Amino acid sequence: MEDFIRLLAERVEIAAANNTPLAIHGGNSKSFYGGGIVGDALDMCGYAGIIDYQPRELVLTVRAGTRLADIEEAMREANQMLPFEPPHFTSEATSVATIGGAVATGLSGPRRAYTGATRDFILGARVINGRGEDLRFGGRVIKNVAGYDVSRLMTGAMGTLGILTDLSFKVLPLPAAEITLQFAMDEASAIQVFNEWAGKPLPISASAWFDGVATLRLSGAIAAVAAAKTKLSGEEVSSAPAKQFWLRLRDHQHDFFGLSAPLWRLSMPATTKPIFVDTTQLIEWGGALRWLSTEMDATSIRSVVANVGGHATLFRAAHKNATKNATVFQPLPAKLAEIHRYLKNAFDPADILNRGRLDNF
């Protein structure tokens, strides 16, 4: 595998010298996300496998091209999980999503609001930058605080700062018990109770609202889950359908995500009251993440969301010309944009790595 790294670094050096952009990808499960794909394909799927897994230490190190499905299967045998529930965007049976893609996009699943995001669990990363340099950041242990936290910087950078090769994570045990409850209520009531419940000592691990139904997942110690169930009441969903509900939500297989209009990902304070009352929405993360399916123009959406202290991402366009004048990510304030440009120039001065995938960076 070191030969792969050496050849990868050489290819990057040549591309930089010739100003040839490289389009980094794994399983291509997230190719729809971000700006347009430009350049010669650089397939990372051949660089796969678990490098080191220490269940007792709760630490996992893998190659970036490793399939999420393979990682999750190995972890289930040790009764452990990736706490941020990275989405596959296909059914588990056909999944080609890789761990490198999960980190590059920085996307997390239903558990994120209650357990943490992708960046919260990454301990270290090995990266080939835009100069062809083989760099290592962080480490393979949880107590590692030396230097700048560049590993987290790579999370969500869409491959524009470097090619992820090796990644180390903190992992967690699977919960001893898990149940799902459902409640009939409108959007405003769901947002209110989600935030009330979040302020109490309840073992909540996921929440969602869609079409008049609030869904809550409780995970943790057997006694804690049982006590919470008694306190909250609600209608319990049987085990198999409950598992499928959260998997389908995580992977955007839920019926909502099949709607034909462009899909927007709205991030805002969890307590924000309903702001798009006449459009089709699905709410997650206790109200902090709201999915919006609409033909509304980007400027109007982003203006409304900015007024409540949030931002809007054009997650998936229905067709190529659906929002031709909209950027994928909400434009940054001038000072933040300046910092982004500085980082891009430091890591990839020739701008060859995933050019344009992060809009202007």
pLDDT in tens, 94-140: 889 999 999 999 999 999 999 999 999 999 999 999 999 999 998 76
Average pLDDT, the chain: 93
| pTM, rounded to two decimals | 0.93
Check: CB of residue 238 under 8 Å from CB of residue 254. Answer: no
Domains of the chain: 2-173 (3.30.465.10), 177-250 (3.30.70), 255-316 (3.30.70)
Could you say which residues of the chain have pLDDT below 70?
A: 140-148, 318-325, 360-361
pLDDT of 318? 64
Map the chain to HEC letters: CHHHHHHHHHHHHHHHHHCCCEEEECCCCCCCCCCCCCCEEEECCCCCCEEEEEHHHCEEEEECCCEHHHHHHHHHHCCEECCCCCCCCCCHHHCCCEHHHHHHHCCCCCCHHHHCCHHHHEEEEEEECCCCCEEEEECCCCCCCCCCCHHHHHCCCCCCCCEEEEEEEECEECCCEEEEEEEECCHHHHHHHHHHHHCCCCCEEEEEEECCEEEEEEEECHHHHHHHHHHHCCEEECHHHHHHHHHHHHCCCCHHHHCCCCEEEEECCCCCCCCCCCCEEEEEHHHCEEEEECCCCHHHHHHHHHHCCCEEEEEECCCCCCCCCCCCCCCCCHHHHHHHHHHHHHHCCCCCECCCCCCCC
pLDDT recorded at residue 140 = 64
Closest residue by Cα to residue 207 from 115, 127, 280, 335: 115
